[in-house]
Amino acid sequence: MKPLLFTLKAEPDQRLDLSGLTPDRLVRRTVKEIEEISIGTTRNAVKVGDLFKVKLGEATSVRFDGGSDRFDLLGAKLLPGFEIHVEGDVGAQLGRAAKGGTITVAGDAGAYAASQSAGAHIDIYGHAGDFLGAPLAGEMAGMSGGRVIVRGSVGARCGDRLRRGIIIVEGDAGDDLGSRAIAGTIIVLGEAGERIGYLNKRASIVLSGEYDLGPTYVDCGAHNLGFAKLFAKSLAQESRGASRLLSGRLQRYAGDTAVFGKGEILIPA
């Protein structure tokens, strides 16, 4: 099955809104109709045909050959059963409010990737910017379902206001990891910055090393957690590092007791 293919002709000179190029919006459209879709964000109009060479294929799968850090909102509101692959970088708000489907980025992603994603599986093989899975200004909840794996590192406030779902970072994470998280799971295999789990309500944050967690996290001792071992098995095919981390004995810290105190931070015992 050949995907619907967008080949980048040249680097865009403005940020692009690619929210209209999801598979469900392109089904049964001709090449000419797709090329006429407006994707510009400034007064200078830009259409798909100005920047991409379009080749028709099975519209349930869309592929971008060539990327840019100006590709914003790619995969926004993606529906279950569809997939998008990008051979290159993307900009801000990758997979914004995606309800399902699969998004794969063979490069870096900008800020607010997976913001309010509700069920998509998103794989980023490079690095991701600040606010991974976090809400935009004025919104009360971030990512609410699905799974995100970043093979590189992420910026600050990863998992901010996370409501549900799984975030795995195989590299390092910036400051305020899991800040204000409501629930869900965040796993970091590298190092993490300051203020881990700040105002965490009920989320589980799993780390690969020891950190100064501050006085609002309470040491609950070392445990062989049955749910963690089952979770590890389910992740074995997606992230071997995360699976190994969850398979061992874990030291549990309950918090943040400055709020509900029903969350936890788990580190190898």
Question: 2 lies in a domain?
Answer: no
Beta-ladder partners of 230: none
**Span 107-136, pLDDT tens digits:** 999 999 999 999 999 999 999 999 999 999
DSSP assigned state of 190: S
How far apart are the C-alpha atoms of 25 and 192, rounded to whole Å? 39
Give the residue numbers spanning the domain of 178.
Answer: 64-268
Residue indicated by tokens 């501050």: 214
Q: Which residues contact 200 (CB under 8 A, 6 or more apart)?
A: 178, 179, 180, 181, 255, 256, 259, 263, 265
Tokens of 257: 């007791």
Distances (CA, A) of 30 to 24, 26, 102, 146: 14, 9, 24, 32
pLDDT digits (tens, 9 = 90+) for 203-226: 999 999 888 888 999 999 999 999
Number of domains into which the chain is organized? 1
Neighbour tally for 152: CB within 10 Å? 17
Tell me the pTM.
0.95
Report yes or no on 114 lying in a domain. Answer: yes
| Mean pLDDT, contiguous 10-residue spans, the chain (269 residues) | 93 96 93 97 96 92 97 97 97 98 98 97 98 96 97 98 98 97 97 96 94 91 93 95 96 94 95
Residue 38 lies in a domain: no
Specify the pLDDT at position 192. 96
Residue 184 lies in a domain: yes
Would you tell me how many other CB atoms lie within 10 Å of the CB of residue 187? 24
Any domain includes 9: no
At CA 238, angle to CA 93 and CA 167, rounded to 5?
40
- Determine, yes or no, domain membership for 54: no
* 22: in domain: no
**Domain assignment of residue 163, yes or no:** yes
Give the number of C-alpha atoms closer than 13 A to the C-alpha of residue 218, restricted to the C-beta side: 11
